[in-house]
Structure 1
Amino acid sequence: METIPILLVVLLLIGAIQGIIFGTILWQKNGLHYIANRFLATILFFFSYRLIVETLNIFGLGRYDVWYHILLEYNWIYGTLIFFFVKSYVNPKFEFKRKDWIHFLPVFIEFAWSFFIKAQNFYWDGTRESLTWLGYWGYVVWMHYPTMFVISGALIIFYSSKAEKILSNMTSVEGYKIIPGKLDWIKRVILVMKIFSIIYVLGILIDFFFFNFASNFFYGHPVFIGMAIITYWLGLEGFSRRKESAFKPTTTVSDKEKEQLVTISNALKLKMQEDQLFKDPELTLASLSEQLSVKPYLVTKCLNTIYEKKFNDYINELRIEEVKRLVNDSKNNNFTLLALAYEAGFNSKASFNRAVKKITGKPPSALKSNS
């Protein structure tokens, strides 16, 4: 075997093995998104299956032998699985219903048709007359045209677009609120799958119409190397986030409680504006509650419900805004950024740096550059 096929086999098998390993781990019932993780695991299993089939083809297996009839195609399943992965991930209460099976109809059609076409080899004696009209033309369209591959890519593009619509319209579901940024990795996955499929479909159509399928693009190395890389990356993304949650439960309060919390919120806002309590570096939830003459748990509930923030984040946001104000005041041109941070209520350089990075996503120096 030449060097290039050996390298190809290694790359394909690495992708396949990693897909199986990550898929097995993701299949475990773990966390709020375990159903979505199982859909992701299924995607990895089918990707791995396809990479293994191609590896067997490189060794000459699956080309009109017994494996040819056993290893059927499942190219039309990827788009549907991507769609249900996203649909179940963004809905913690997702349940797969009977009507959802309609989306898997293309998979059943491909499976049955592939089996039918490959079975024609048992009847073919080298002449066209040995096959039925459907058997002959079905074989030609299936084996000599890029039918299954174009439909596979089109289904991925179609379902990826549906998944993107779901993600773009999601802010919350009943009882839960989406944590900002937690769906970004899924958006990247969908985008990569969509771009890969568009390039794949365009490539195979160009090959078919302009090169008469001479380069056999589908079995070309770039396609499967790309699939192996995506399988490995997709498994790694899912594995690293398998225990994460993109949601946080929303607090349900009665009208009476809401009115009480709004009153506390107004008093809190007034204290921060007039007395600037946030400038106190020793400020705690307990001391703030004392100032408001309210029990600490009510202040926490007010911050969670009205502001949707934790105590530290709420106070640090006010301090950062104060730093920005001080930076913009020409009277403070001779002071360092850290000195202004202390003035705003931060008690150390480390806490200031952490707060700015967490809340703004930028380094503290950006506060000056944006002034």
Structure 2
Amino acid sequence: METATILILIVLGAGALQGVIYGSILWRNHSIHRLSFRFLAGILLFFSYRLIVEILHYLGWGTYEDPLYYILLEFNWIYGALIYFFVRTYVNPAYQWQKKDWIHFIPVGIETVWSFFIKAQNFYWDGTRESLSWLGYWGYVIWVHHPTMILVSAGLIIYYGIQCWRLLNNPPDVHGYKLIPHSIQWIKRVIIVLMAFTILFMGITLIDWLFFDFAFNTFNLPIFIGMAAITYWLGLEGFSRRNTPAFKVVDLPSDEEMKELQTLSKRLDKAMKEDQLYKNPNLHLRELAQQLQVKPYILTRLFSVVLNTKFNDYINGYRLDALKELMKDPDNKKLTLLSLAFEVGFNSKASFNRATVKLTGRSPKHLLDE
């Protein structure tokens, strides 16, 4: 065996070993994301299994004459569903597994049964087409001499990857929990990498099929090196975040308290609009609480539970709205943007810039274009 091949097999083996190690650790995780990390562990373990099968093939095991051939399956159609449930349960820590969820794993059941059926045709094959049934013959042709397995697997991963992306961009509201937005950025990176790798794998497989006489092994080693690298990286990402929750538990108010907070919210909104309290550049939480004749901690609870924002962001939101109204007045065209910002309550250029970028995602100069 060539030195280069040996080194590549070592890389695949290292990736498989790391996948097993990280997968085992994540399977035993007991954080708020326990169920999610079990799906991630499943992804890692199936990736590792696939790498091990590939290593055995290069060592000459699992060929047609080897009994392992009838045992080693590829399970390519399971990745999409595992990725989907990993994301779905990660963004919803209260998610409960339901019987109907098994429908997503029907493809892997079909793949398993069909693989056994196709491999069983070797018991009947004597070198002639007549030795096989019509289904056995054409099933073998489609399964072995066409990239059917890979293309269906790629299609499933891409489909579920799109569903995952939608979930990550519009996570569900979970009663009793509040999502920490930046905590799911790493999963977005995972989805992008997995989908990019899948599209690359699918493209190379089609090239191999169309232009290399159904060889299916011309590009195998580089592709599986990529899978080994993804397995290692994915395990490391999950391992480093195994004890870092993406949610914080919210102390939910009782129905009576919620009713009181909603009433206070209306009073606050009325005070801000009619009395324009936001124009006070030195307005702080305690002073606002005095204006509303409530305790400061109640006002804090209003912002966190009902309004889902912070005091400064709430006040600055009114200031920016008032600033935009002033900018519509032709008489204010001669005034600078900063002078108008001071008029609506901002007390410095720096605070105005920070508030604008945070609340609009754009610099203050873009307000002139609206």
The answer, yes or no, to whether TM exceeds 0.5 is yes
Shift, 1:313, TM fit: 7.4
Report the residue type matching 1:203 in the other structure.
I
Residue 298 (structure 1) aligns with: 298
Shift, 1:76, TM fit: 0.7
1:161 aligns with 2:162: yes
Equivalences for residues 222-233 of structure 1 within 5 A = 222-233=222-233
Report the residue type matching 1:249 in the other structure.
V
CA distance in 1, matches of 2:316, 2:5: 57
2:338–2:349 Cα contact (<8 Å) kept: no
CA distance in 1, matches of 2:261, 2:271: 15
1:277 aligns with 2:278: no
CA distance in 2, matches of 1:215, 1:74: 17
Report the residue type matching 1:257 in the other structure.
L
1:262–1:302 Cα contact (<8 Å) kept: no
- The answer for unaligned runs of 5 or more in structure 2 is 320-335, 340-347
Alignment TM-score, normalising by the size of structure 1: 0.76
Report the residue type matching 1:192 in the other structure.
V
1:75–1:149 Cα contact (<8 Å) kept: yes
Report the residue type matching 2:150 in the other structure.
F
Residue 257 (structure 1) aligns with: 261
Shift, 1:304, TM fit: 1.0
Residue 51 (structure 1) aligns with: 51
1:27–1:41 Cα contact (<8 Å) kept: yes
Query: CA offsets per residue over residues 114-144 of structure 1, 9 Å max, x none?
Result: 1122223233344444433333332232222
CA distance in 1, matches of 2:210, 2:279: 74
CA distance in 2, matches of 1:298, 1:245: 26
Query: Compared with structure 1, are the counterparts of its residues 265 and 294 closer, same or farther at alpha carbon in structure 2 (3 Å cutoff)?
Result: farther
1:22–1:236 Cα contact (<8 Å) kept: yes
Query: Compared with structure 1, are the counterparts of its residues 110 and 147 closer, same or farther at alpha carbon in structure 2 (3 Å cutoff)?
Result: same
Residue 335 (structure 1) aligns with: none
CA distance in 1, matches of 2:132, 2:216: 28
1:43–1:82 Cα contact (<8 Å) kept: yes
CA distance in 2, matches of 1:190, 1:122: 41
Alignment TM-score, normalising by the size of structure 2: 0.76
Query: Compared with structure 1, are the counterparts of its residues 48 and 114 closer, same or farther at alpha carbon in structure 2 (3 Å cutoff)?
Result: same
1:30 aligns with 2:30: yes
Query: CA offsets per residue over residues 8-37 of structure 1, 9 Å max, x none?
Result: 112212221221122122212422222111
1:177–1:250 Cα contact (<8 Å) kept: no
2:184–2:246 Cα contact (<8 Å) kept: no
1:202 aligns with 2:203: yes
Residue 143 (structure 2) aligns with: 142
Query: Compared with structure 1, are the counterparts of its residues 316 and 259 closer, same or farther at alpha carbon in structure 2 (3 Å cutoff)?
Result: closer
* Larger deviation, residues 238-247 vs 93-102: 238-247
Report the residue type matching 1:87 in the other structure.
R
CA distance in 1, matches of 2:157, 2:115: 19
CA distance in 2, matches of 1:84, 1:155: 13
Query: CA offsets per residue over residues 91-114 of structure 1, 9 Å max, x none?
Result: 222222212212111101111111
- The answer for unaligned runs of 5 or more in structure 1 is 320-326, 331-338, 345-354
CA distance in 2, matches of 1:359, 1:31: 31
Report the residue type matching 1:204 in the other structure.
T
Residue 61 (structure 2) aligns with: 61
Report the residue type matching 1:296 in the other structure.
P
Shift, 1:78, TM fit: 0.5
Residue 6 (structure 1) aligns with: 6
Shift, 1:328, TM fit: 6.3
Shift, 1:50, TM fit: 0.3
CA distance in 1, matches of 2:166, 2:312: 35
1:221 aligns with 2:221: yes
* Larger deviation, residues 204-213 vs 239-248: 239-248
RMSD across aligned positions (CA): 4.0
1:94 aligns with 2:95: yes
* Larger deviation, residues 114-123 vs 66-75: 114-123
2:92–2:172 Cα contact (<8 Å) kept: no
Query: Compared with structure 1, are the counterparts of its residues 162 and 340 closer, same or farther at alpha carbon in structure 2 (3 Å cutoff)?
Result: closer
Residue 333 (structure 2) aligns with: none
1:122 aligns with 2:110: no
* Larger deviation, residues 121-130 vs 55-64: 121-130
CA distance in 2, matches of 1:33, 1:92: 6
Query: CA offsets per residue over residues 250-277 of structure 1, 9 Å max, x none?
Result: 8445323311244356668969635433
* Larger deviation, residues 177-186 vs 139-148: 177-186
Query: Compared with structure 1, are the counterparts of its residues 318 and 263 closer, same or farther at alpha carbon in structure 2 (3 Å cutoff)?
Result: closer
CA distance in 2, matches of 1:299, 1:169: 28
